[in-house]
Amino acid sequence: MFYSKLWVSGGLLLLGAAAVAQAKYIVPGARWRDTDGNLVNAHAGSILVDNGTFWWFGEYKIEGQEEGGGVSVYSSEDLATWTHHGLALEPVEGHRYISPSSIIQRPKVVYSEPTGQYHMWWHADNSSYGLLLQGLATADTVAGPYTFVDATAPLGNWSQDFGMFTDYKDGRSYALYSNGDSVRGRDVYLTSYNEEVTGLDAVVHRFDKFDLEAPTIIQTDKSYYALMSHKTGYRPNNVVAFRADSLSGPWSQPWIVSPLNTRTFNSQSGFTLRITGCKGTTYLYLGDQWDSNSLWESRYIWLPINIDDNKKTLAVEWHDVYDLNVKTGSWRPVEGKEYHGKDATTSGNAFKQEANFASGGVIVTGIEGNDSTVTFSGIEGTGKPQWVSFHYQNTDDMGFGDQPGGSPDRIGGSWQLRRVSSVVVNGNTESVETLYQRDTHKGIVLSTPLQLTLEEGSNNTITVGGLFNGFYYKGADLDKIVVYPPES
């Protein structure tokens, strides 16, 4: 008999449990580490489920470089614990399509019954995005290494952001691709593969002139939903969805899948996953939180998708921390304990300001350097690593007139993208955590997590200051922090 501690709304309960629950939580936007302790490096990824194991393929990004890393592969039994298996597709020096300066983006893998091999497809390009091709490589085993076969123009056309979808009802696979930014392009194609998945057959549908990218399709028993982002490079925007009864359409009008002005919780679409367990089906959104300041450190935003097929609606839901059980096909949000900025103490020029959108109508602003800080006290801890989410507002889009480019909400604007805060537990300045806080919007509070170790008991403090982001030492405005129970 195992006992696991469960926190409910801040109260500590001791419950007897017949079995240990999921070992690990899913924490969107955290620094995810593999079983060796390294950052998971598999951007714009996709998941192949192979005999019950999840295989994550994604772009391997080298620090300081945009491209050239190849495709990395990880495996998991629970979608939370990831084991690295190295590079599934390794760049080849001097190769026309997979050299260290080639674009190898948005890889997808499918098992081909007729060939008895695993087939990897991706957006294959040169560094100026002038080729617009789709690459194919094959392997006898799922983790590879994969051998390059060819890079081709799909049915003679251009192909930029690449997606792949396999219909669970008949096993047929389809390619999704935006055909680029040229005036003649700006469409997204949905095209069927041949039986072998070695080439494309026929265009099934074309999403005309919406000028979208990063396409993916999620299937329910009744519907297909196609999710895509707008085209703002590494800056996030409002992802949209379309619905249809059949892949060939008719497809609905698009709608925005997340609360307005959150820019899809600061993420871009890329993949969706259907998890069918013994008790139900969960749909997951697997997005990227690109960090153009440091691409290799970009985070993953994986969230549950709420679909109502009767109302024909789909929404991506935010949860700081959730517990997904892939065996039952269900998930639950993890409850944390909140500490509000309203009740915290400020130092220096940091102060509490009226904000009708914040907890208790107050937000802490003016957090700057290490002498204008906010301290939350009386925090309950367990002595074990715990997820703590920092709910903040970053209004850099209001525009700092003296900064290059200004704000995105003005002509010719560009984004600063993030403020950086320092986080210190119990006044221990020997150990300073770095918290990236990306642009939100006026009145939009989003959160970003850190894993912290607090002392057991209720006398912990967390102090937040401002670190340098290239321009200034400001941290974002803080609404509240939420402390989650440790993973069992």
Residue with Cβ nearer ligand NAG (304 or 369): 369
Residue with Cβ nearer ligand NAG (92 or 155): 155
**Nearest distance, CB of residue 128 and ligand NAG, angstroms:** 4
Should residue 55 be labelled a site residue for ligand NAG when binding is judged by CB under 6 A? no
Residue with Cβ nearer ligand NAG (40 or 48): 48
Should residue 155 be labelled a site residue for ligand NAG when binding is judged by CB under 6 A? yes
Should residue 261 be labelled a site residue for ligand NAG when binding is judged by CB under 6 A? no
Should residue 154 be labelled a site residue for ligand NAG when binding is judged by CB under 6 A? no
- x/- contact string, 413-442, with ligand NAG (CB under 6 A)? ----------------x-------------
Should residue 251 be labelled a site residue for ligand NAG when binding is judged by CB under 6 A? no
- x/- contact string, 165-194, with ligand NAG (CB under 6 A)? --------------x----xx-x-------
Should residue 52 be labelled a site residue for ligand NAG when binding is judged by CB under 6 A? yes
Instruction: Pick the stretch among 86-94, 125-133, 249-257, 267-275 that binds ligand NAG (CB under 6 A).
Output: 125-133
Should residue 157 be labelled a site residue for ligand NAG when binding is judged by CB under 6 A? yes
Among 38, 127, 246, 428, binds ligand NAG (CB under 6 A): 127
Instruction: Pick the stretch among 37-45, 151-159, 214-222, 448-456 that binds ligand NAG (CB under 6 A).
Output: 151-159
Among 11, 64, 116, 130, binds ligand NAG (CB under 6 A): 130
SS (H, E, C) the chain: CEEEEEEECCEEEEEEECCCCCCCCECCCCCCECCCCCECCCEEEEEEEECCEEEEEEECCCCCCCCCCCEEEEEECCCCCCEEEEEEECCCCCCCCCCCCCEEEEEEEEEECCCCEEEEEEEEECCCCCCCEEEEEEECCCCCCCEEEEEECHHHCCCCCEEEEECCCCCCEEEEEECCCCCCCCCEEEEEECCCCCCEEEEEEEECCCCCEEEEEEECCCCEEEEEECCCCCCCCCCEEEEECCCCCCCCCCEECCCCCCHHHHCEEEEEEEEECCCCEEEEEEEEECCCCCHHHCEEEEEEEEEECCCCEEEECCCCCEEEECCCCEEEECCCEEEEHHHCEECCCCEEEECCCCHHHEEEECCECCCECEEEEEEEECCCEEEEEEEEECCHHHCCCCCCCCCCCCCCCCCCCEEEEEEEECCCCCCEEEEEEECCECCECEEEEEEEECCCEEEEEEEEEEECCCCCCECCEEEEEEECCCCC
Site for ligand NAG in 193-232 (CB under 6 A): none
Among 51, 253, 310, 356, binds ligand NAG (CB under 6 A): 51
Should residue 451 be labelled a site residue for ligand NAG when binding is judged by CB under 6 A? no
Should residue 156 be labelled a site residue for ligand NAG when binding is judged by CB under 6 A? yes
β-strand partners of 449: 389
Among 370, 403, 414, 451, binds ligand NAG (CB under 6 A): 370
Should residue 389 be labelled a site residue for ligand NAG when binding is judged by CB under 6 A? no
What residue is closest to ligand NAG based on CB? 130
Site for ligand NAG in 87-116 (CB under 6 A): none
Give residues in contact with ligand NAG (CB under 6 A).
51-52, 126-128, 130-131, 155-157, 179, 184-185, 187, 369-370, 429, 459, 473
